[in-house]
Amino acid sequence: MALAFDEFGRPFIILREQDQKTRLRGIDAQKANIAAGKAVARILRSSLGPKGMDKMLQGPDGDVTISNDGATILEQMDVDNQIAKLMVELSRSQDYEIGDGTTGVVVMAGALLEQAERQLDRGIHPIRIAEGYEMASRVAVEHLERIAQKFEFDVDNYEPLVQTCMTTLSSKIVNRCKRSLAEIAVKAVLAVADLERRDVNLDLIKVEGKVGGKLEDTELIYGILVDKDMSHPQMPKQIEDAHIAILTCPFEPPKPKTKHKVDIDTVEKFETLRKQEQQYFDEMVQKCKDVGATLVICQWGFDDEANHLLMHRNLPAVRWVGGVELELIAIATGGRIVPRFQELTPEKLGKAGMVREKSFGTTKERMLYIEHCANSKAVTIFIRGGNKMMIEETKRSIHDALCVARNLIRNNSIVYGGGAAEITCSLAVDAAADKYPGVEQYAIRAFAEALDSVPMALAENSGLQPIETLSAVKSQQIKENIPFYGIDCNDVGTNDMREQNVFETLIGKQQQILLATQVVKMILKIDDVISNSEY
């Protein structure tokens, strides 16, 4: 792009390769951007809430994903438009920061854009709308702080955490087992949580899945699950009070780094070489036996000879275990990863109460359970399900539940779900609009209206009359001045979310409002779009 002047001194812009570019300016650019943002929000709107529908996405190589997790849907969608990409980023940042509420945040941003379009039609300047939105979001976030409730929990009484995780899981495909899955998620988080520092390292929770069985068979293992079996079929399948040597060196004779050639011209020389190799193996196995190891876990493979020797010396072994799993095993058993046989000492061995091999179904698939570890700071959630898609979706659902439990340990304030928090914020923002004398008050009222879109979508997805239901709940909140009334999606017969036990984390809700407002402000400030044309 270059600026030039004609003979009268009037400026004009020259675009490089102008015939290949399209350009939108002013109000047209804003309208086009808003339309793109709304299109993405419309896709996700129908998958909000406990009665939300799932989306089926086919990847480029034919693999199918079924999900109603906003971040997953948008990640898998192939989006070309720049503004639509912003919406994908928005959902992703909510997923990274909070882990839950990824659909709601996009629906919220779409509603704000829709309202902004109406304000633009009235002739209000986009910057004034953006400023009004900013003021309104501050009012909403402060109001959420005021209505939030703290609840106390400890390691023994974790019921409030389970209730909040159940709210998260109720909108997923796994909602028929939400109680058991929520309990598993909470127990896993409490097992690895540092309650004094109020911190949780989710890397210590490994989520494994295996096709087969049913969803109810999902279990929490206080230890590590490795998708491997013993290296020799005749090795013992169960070892109690195991002392584990964790090795990253292979059970093989040493090889020189340079290229080499061994000339063998007599039988004696061959015998000598074979004996030498056998001696290497003998020393390696003996080294492991001497330090008191009763199980060897190795990152690399063994020769058949080594395997045979291990079998004869009664030293069970597992080979080809991945690096991440080795680290988790080391954390759980309190062992050290040993890079060379010479460095093996009894102190570096990990300890586990029980190591057992378990086979599944009629297939020959076996897995290794390492349980009752010295340090139970690493746990595994083992998911079973009818097919691969179900397991993948359950993994995503469990991830959301784990994130919610982590957020509650960090900050134990909750607000009520079912659209209750949005309705009460909408009323608060509406009331605050009168205090602002400028044009911004139109934008603030528009923000209040946009907040209503979440409960409206919930009602719509649940097959209720959206406008009637929303206005009934709103009037109930105003009359009784109680911010706990929301949309009765599951047709329980009460709108009181305290009775229905529908909670959401305060930081999650605040983050939704702030992120959605930021993205909408950014979109409104764009007034010139220069892009390569399609052909």
User: Rounded to the nearest 10 degrees, what angle do helices 466-480 and 453-461 cross at?
Assistant: 130
Check: CB of residue 507 under 8 Å from CB of residue 514: no
Q: How far apart are the first and last CA of the chain?
A: 20
CA 328 to chain centre: 20
Task: Give the orientation angle of helix 440-451 with respect to helix 453-461, to 10 degrees.
Answer: 20
Residue 432, exposed/middle/buried by CB under 10 A (0-12, 13-18, 19+)? buried
Within 8 A by CB and 6+ apart from 326, the residues are: 246, 248, 297, 299, 337
Q: Known catalytic residue: 345?
A: no
- Is 304 catalytic? The answer is no
Distance CA 117, CA 449 (A): 13
Given 229, 400, 488, 496, which residue is catalytic?
400
Which residue in 72, 95, 100, 103 is the catalytic one?
103
Alpha-carbon distance of 327 to 302, in angstroms, equals 20
What number of other Cβ atoms are within 10 A of residue 341's Cβ? 18
Q: What is the rounded (10 degree) CA torsion for 238, 240, 243, 249? A: 10
What is the enclosing helix (H) or strand (E) of 135?
helix 126-147
How far out from the chain centre does Cα 388 lie?
Answer: 18
The DSSP result for 346-412, as a single string, is GGG-EEEEEEEEEE-TTS--EEEEEEEESSTT-EEEEEEESSHHHHHHHHHHHHHHHHHHHHHHH--
Helix or strand holding residue 41 (H, E): helix 26-45
How far, in Å, are 69, 166, 457 from residue 51 at the CA level? 13, 14, 10
Comparing CA positions, the residue from 358, 408, 370, 350 lying closest to residue 225 is: 370
Is 102 annotated in the active site? Answer: yes
| C-beta separation of 175 from 196 below 8 A | no
Q: Which residues, including other chains, have CB under 8 Å from residue 122's CB and lie 6 or more apart? A: 442
Rounded CA-CA distance 37/26 in Å is: 17
Among residues 65, 69, 100, 517, which one is catalytic? Answer: 69
Catalytic: 430? no
Query: Per the structure block, which two tokens stand in for 61?
Result: 């190589």
Catalytic residue among 65, 72, 100, 102: 102
State the catalytic residues: 69, 102-103, 400
